[in-house]
Amino acid sequence: MSASSRLLWNVGFSVGQQFSESSNRLPAVTDPFCPISYLSTPLSLMSTASRIFGGKSKPFYIAGSSFPENKCILRLSHCHIPLLLSRAIVSGLLIKPPLVHSILRSLSLGPVPSLSLSFLSLLRQSGYMTLDNYSLNIALSATARLPSVSVGGQLHSLSVKLGLVSDTFVLNSLINMYSSCSYPATARLVLDSAPQGACDVVSWNTIIAGYLRGGMPNKALQAFGEMAKEQVRLDDVTLLNALVASARTGTVKVGRLCHGLVVVNGVGINCHMGSSLISMYAKCGLVEDARKVFDGMHGRNVVCWTSMISGYTQLGKFKEAVQLFRDMQISGMKADDATIATVVSSCAQMGALDLGCYVHAYCDVHGLGKELSVKNSLIDMYSKCGDIKKAYEIFSGLTKRDVFSWTAMIMGFALNGLCGKALDLFAQMEGEGMVIPNEVTFLGVLTSCSHGGLLEHGYHHFQRMSTVYNLAPRIEHYGCMVDLLGRAKLLAEASQFIKEMPIAPDVVVWQSLLFACRACGEVGLAEYVAERILELEPKKCAGHVLLSNVYATTSRWVDVNKLRTPMNGSRMSKQPGCSFIEVDGCVHEFFAGDESHLETEAIYNILLGINELLVAESLLHNHLVAWNFIMYPLVACRAVPITEI
CB 120 within 8 A of CB 104: yes
pLDDT greater than 90 at residue 422: yes
Integer Cα distance of 68 and 571 in angstroms: 80
The sign of the CA dihedral 616, 619, 621, 623 is negative
| 496 inside domain | yes
Q: Quick one: which of 190, 147, 184 has its CA closest to 168?
A: 190
pLDDT tens per residue, range 82-115: 555 555 555 555 456 677 777 778 778 878 888 8
pLDDT tens per residue, range 287-324: 999 999 999 988 899 999 999 999 999 999 998 999 99
The sign of the CA dihedral 489, 495, 500, 504 is positive
Q: Which residues contact 63 (CB under 8 A, 6 or more apart)?
A: none
Range of weakest confidence among 35-49, 155-169, 499-513, 565-579 = 35-49
Q: How far is CA 323 from CA 298, 307, 317, 347, 442, in A?
A: 20, 14, 10, 11, 34
Neighbours of 150 (CB within 10 A): 11
Integer Cα distance of 631 and 626 in angstroms: 8
**Where a domain ends, among 99, 130, 161?**
130
φ, ψ of residue 372 in degrees (nearest 5): -65, -30
Neighbours of 137 (CB within 10 A): 24
- b/e code 164-192 from CB counts within 10 Å (16+ = b): bbebbebbbbbbbbbbbbebbebbbebbe
Per the structure, the complete domain to which residue 22 belongs is given by 1-130
| 58 inside domain | yes
Q: How far is CA 478 from CA 99, 263, 330, 499, 507, in A?
A: 63, 48, 46, 11, 12
Cis before 147? omega within 30: yes
Q: Quick one: which of 92, 250, 113, 268 has its CA closest to 177?
A: 113
Q: What is the pLDDT of residue 119?
A: 77
pLDDT greater than 90 at residue 587: no
CB 280 within 8 A of CB 247: yes
| 438 inside domain | no
Q: Quick one: which of 265, 306, 300 has its CA closest to 282?
A: 306
Count of the separate structural domains present in the chain: 2
Q: Quick one: which of 299, 322, 298, 71 has its CA closest to 308?
A: 322
Q: Which residues contact 401 (CB under 8 A, 6 or more apart)?
A: 372, 395, 434, 435
CB 642 within 8 A of CB 591: yes
Q: Label residue 148 exposed, middle or buried (CB < 10 Å: 0-12, 13-18, 19+).
A: buried
Q: What is the pLDDT of residue 239?
A: 92
Integer Cα distance of 11 and 125 in angstroms: 12
Mean pLDDT in the chain?
79
Q: Which has the higher per-residue pLDDT, 558 or 432?
A: 432
Stretch 204-214: mean pLDDT: 94
The partner residues of 540 in beta bridges, in order of sequence, read 573
pLDDT bin (cut points 50, 70, 90) of residue 18 is very low
Q: What is the DSSP letter of 227?
A: H
| 259 inside domain | no
Range of weakest confidence among 62-76, 129-143, 345-359, 537-551 = 62-76
Stretch 234-241: mean pLDDT: 91
CB 611 within 8 A of CB 630: yes
Q: What is the pLDDT of residue 414?
A: 93
| 234 inside domain | no
| 8 inside domain | yes
The partner residues of 591 in beta bridges, in order of sequence, read 578
Integer Cα distance of 208 and 214 in angstroms: 10
Q: Which residues contact 366 (CB under 8 A, 6 or more apart)?
A: 334, 335
Q: What is the pLDDT of residue 10?
A: 41
pLDDT tens per residue, range 469-492: 999 999 999 999 999 999 988 999
Neighbours of 413 (CB within 10 A): 25
| 275 inside domain | no
Integer Cα distance of 220 and 215 in angstroms: 9
Three-class DSSP category at 591? strand
Q: What is the pLDDT of residue 641?
A: 34
Q: What is the DSSP letter of 587?
A: E
**Where a domain ends, among 83, 101, 130?**
130
| 91 inside domain | yes
Angle between helices 372-384 and 337-350 (to 10 degrees): 10
Percent of the chain with pLDDT over 90: 45
Q: What is the pLDDT of residue 459?
A: 93
Q: What is the pLDDT of residue 412?
A: 95
pLDDT greater than 60 at residue 635: no
The partner residues of 590 in beta bridges, in order of sequence, read 579
Q: State CA 6 to chain mean position distance.
A: 43
pLDDT tens per residue, range 39-68: 333 333 334 444 433 444 433 333 334 444
DSSP class per residue in 358-375: HHHHHHHHTT---SHHHH
pLDDT tens per residue, range 22-31: 333 333 333 3
Which one of 38-52, 354-368, 526-540 scores highest in mean pLDDT?
Answer: 354-368
Q: What is the pLDDT of residue 33?
A: 34
Stretch 324-336: mean pLDDT: 93
Integer Cα distance of 281 and 439 in angstroms: 29
CB 207 within 8 A of CB 179: yes
Integer Cα distance of 123 and 443 in angstroms: 57
Q: What is the pLDDT of residue 582?
A: 65
Integer Cα distance of 34 and 47 in angstroms: 13
Integer Cα distance of 171 and 151 in angstroms: 16
pLDDT bin (cut points 50, 70, 90) of residue 636 is very low
pLDDT bin (cut points 50, 70, 90) of residue 38 is very low
CB 391 within 8 A of CB 357: no
Residue 266: left (phi > 0), alpha (psi -120 to 50), or beta? left
Summary count for the chain: helices (H), strands (E): 35, 2
State the amino acid at position 632 in one-letter form.
Y
Angle between helices 542-553 and 557-569 (to 10 degrees): 160
Stretch 551-565: mean pLDDT: 71
The partner residues of 582 in beta bridges, in order of sequence, read 587
Q: Which residues contact 622 (CB under 8 A, 6 or more apart)?
A: none
> What pTM was computed for the model?
0.71
Integer Cα distance of 237 and 307 in angstroms: 19
pLDDT tens per residue, range 241-290: 999 999 999 999 999 999 998 888 766 688 899 999 999 999 999 999 99
Neighbours of 635 (CB within 10 A): 13
**Where a domain ends, among 114, 130, 146?**
130
pLDDT bin (cut points 50, 70, 90) of residue 567 is low
CB 395 within 8 A of CB 362: no
Q: What is the pLDDT of residue 516?
A: 86
